Amino acid sequence: MDEPKVTGTKPKMSTTRKILLILGFLSTLAAIALITVAVTQNQPLRKNIKYGIVLDAGSSHTNLYVYEWPAEKENDTGVVQQVEVCKVEGPGISGYSQTTEKAGPSLVQCLRQAEEVIPAEQHQETPVYLGATAGMRLLRLENKDAADKVLSSVEKTLRSAPFSFQGARIISGQEEGAYGWITINYLLGNFKQSGWKKFLHSLKSISETSGALDLGGASTQITFVPDEISPESPQNLLYFRLYGKDYQVYTHSFLCYGKDQALQQKLAWDLQSAENSSLFDPCFHQGYQRTISMSNFFKNPCTSIEEKQFPFSQLHIEGEGNYEKCRRNIQILFNKTNCPYSSCSFNGIYLPPLQGDFGAFSAFYFVMNFLNLTSDVPFTLDEVASAIQKFCARPWHEVKLQYHQIKEKYLSEYCFSGAYILSLLENGYEFTTENWQRIHFLGKIGSSDAGWTLGYMLNLTNMIPAEEPPAPPLSYSSYVGLMVLCSLVLVARSLFPTSS
């Protein structure tokens, strides 16, 4: 042999070793190639995507959501995702009570947008649902005829779209709470866990689902799985069987306790003690002024209870920007005097002890996000209160200058909304400094907005089966991983035979 001298301590490789090494390398490549072929062969050639549309007709505006999912996986958890959201111009559909025939046409622009997102050949098979919430519940109480006309205008428009119309109706507060809870737990992957996650969860016997806190303009919902179910208030309990597991869920929806109606309620209380047509309000910034027409004010079912005769037709409000006073002012909305159950939130409504983590979304998120109080590491209750206190104390002209891009109506109410959220959570539901940090303010989970709409569609399309669908013991990716590992071990063994 005429090999060059190798310096150093490395022993010289024998020729057979070299050949074995090359052979081993080649067989590894071959194994990987084989597996790759097997994997790609098993994938369907073209992704078979399905679509669904849900319109959330809220009290202040309507949102249209487009969801998509792979057809062959439709019974799996977590596969549905939001691909489009369109905010309808103008007020919520309940705002068309005087011009009911205009409610439907207001949705046309967003329906066109959905037509562009969804391939034309799939329009006909794509279901479209509209669910109206507390704004329409209130209009139905105030003027049933107008509410019916709004719904039929909306139905007419949805039927004339190229999609498969599945209904336009007012959903109950209980449904709104339940579907919000289903949405976040579906998106967080809490319902059906496969493989390692299931195993890990069975080790730590942690609370498996997250509670849901939803805040709209006209109502608010609290939904969670309590530690123990007491049968004392059956109207607040729901039973679900999802993916082979039973859930007993507590839910309540407070009508008139959304952020806009809460403000109306508060003003109605303030009016009771007003001596003349001008009122100082600690929940608005100093220097802010607003005039309210008394006639509109008491048509609202949320405020009409307090009605009395006033010698003036206009109310002038002037801001004081005092957070502490504002909190005391809001307190009156939570009547804690009477509880016919073992425990209550407020107004004599049953509330079992709070349990586990909570996802707080919709206006809970929008308001806290504006105030920079959402982050992965939750703020303490004290930090949140002091941030809102500082914001409320800023004079209106300064706030208006800094946030000139935000409509004055919305901008002027962030101070109230922030204080109201703390009152609702701290005084209403009695979150404490200890469990405050179990509230997670979240807008989106993945690409999907948190809210009731996804849960509503999942239920109406029967995409969450009661029983766990039979699944192979190993997931596809674990199967592939295992195959690769085995081949590598085999190759390694052939490379390094059992010599000592």
Ligand X SMILES: *[C@@H]1O[C@H](CO)[C@@H](O)[C@H](O)[C@H]1NC(C)=O
Burial class (CB in 10 A: 0-12, 13-18, 19+), 388: buried
Tell me the Cα Rg of the chain: 29
The region of 141-149, 281-289, 307-315, 333-341 touching ligand X under the rule CB under 6 A is 333-341
Nearest-angstrom CA–CA distance, 340 and 25: 76
**According to the binding rule CB under 6 A, does residue 416 interact with ligand X?**
no
Is residue 375 at the binding interface for ligand X, with CB under 6 A as the rule? no
Pairing of strands 127-132, 164-170: parallel
Find the binder of ligand X among 110, 371, 419, 439 (CB under 6 A).
Answer: 371
The reply on whether position 429 binds ligand X by CB under 6 A is no
**459 touches ligand X by CB under 6 A:** yes
Q: Pick from 25, 29, 72, 112: which binds ligand X (CB under 6 A)?
A: 72
- Do the strands 219-224 and 237-242 form a parallel or antiparallel pair, or are they unpaired? unpaired
User: Which of 289, 314, 335, 475 lies at the binding interface for ligand X (CB under 6 A)?
Assistant: 335
> Is 57 marked as binding a ligand?
no
Task: Please tell me whether residue 178 binds ligand X under the rule CB under 6 A.
Answer: yes
**If binding is defined by CB under 6 A, does position 276 make contact with ligand X?**
yes
By CB under 6 A, residue 162 contacts ligand X: no
Q: Is 382 in the site for ligand X (CB under 6 A)?
A: no
Residue 411 binds ligand X, judged by CB under 6 A: no
**Binding of ligand X by 391 (CB under 6 A):** yes
Q: Is 89 a catalytic residue?
A: no
Instruction: List the one residue from 20, 35, 63, 74 that touches ligand X (CB under 6 A).
Output: 74
Hey, how many other C-beta atoms are within 10 angstroms of the C-beta on 167?
Answer: 12
Nearer to ligand X, 113 or 233 (CB): 233
Q: Which is nearer to ligand X, 109 or 402 (CB)?
A: 402
* Contact call for residues 57 and 176 (beta carbons, < 8 A): no
Query: Is residue 278 involved in binding ligand X (CB under 6 A)?
Result: yes
Closest CA to 267 of 334, 202, 332: 332
Q: Is 221 annotated as a binding residue?
A: yes
β partners of residue 65: 54, 85
Q: How far apart are the first and last CA of the chain?
A: 27
Residue 74 or residue 357: which is nearer to ligand X going by CB?
74
Q: Does the annotation flag 209 for ligand binding?
A: no
**Which of these is catalytic: 68, 176, 320, 413?**
176
Closest to 478 (Cα-Cα) out of 243, 244, 197: 197
Least distance from C-beta 145 to ligand X, angstroms? 29
- Min separation Cβ 465 and ligand X, Å: 5
Question: Residue 220 annotated as binding?
Answer: yes
- Rounded to a whole number of angstroms, the minimum distance from the CB of residue 335 to ligand X is 4
Asked if 385 contacts 433 with a C-beta cutoff of 8 angstroms, the reply is no
Determine whether the annotation assigns residue 217 to a binding site. yes
Q: Evaluate whether 119 touches 165 at the Cβ level (below 8 Å).
A: no
Which of 5/407 has CB closer to ligand X? 407
Contact residue for ligand X among 83, 113, 194, 240 (CB under 6 A): 240
Q: What number of chain residues touch ligand X (CB under 6 A)?
A: 19
Q: Which residues bind to ligand X, rule: CB under 6 A?
A: 72, 74-75, 178, 182, 240, 275-276, 278, 332, 335, 337-338, 348, 371-372, 391, 459, 465
Q: Which residues are annotated as a binding site for ATP?
A: 217-221
**Catalytic residue IDs:** 176
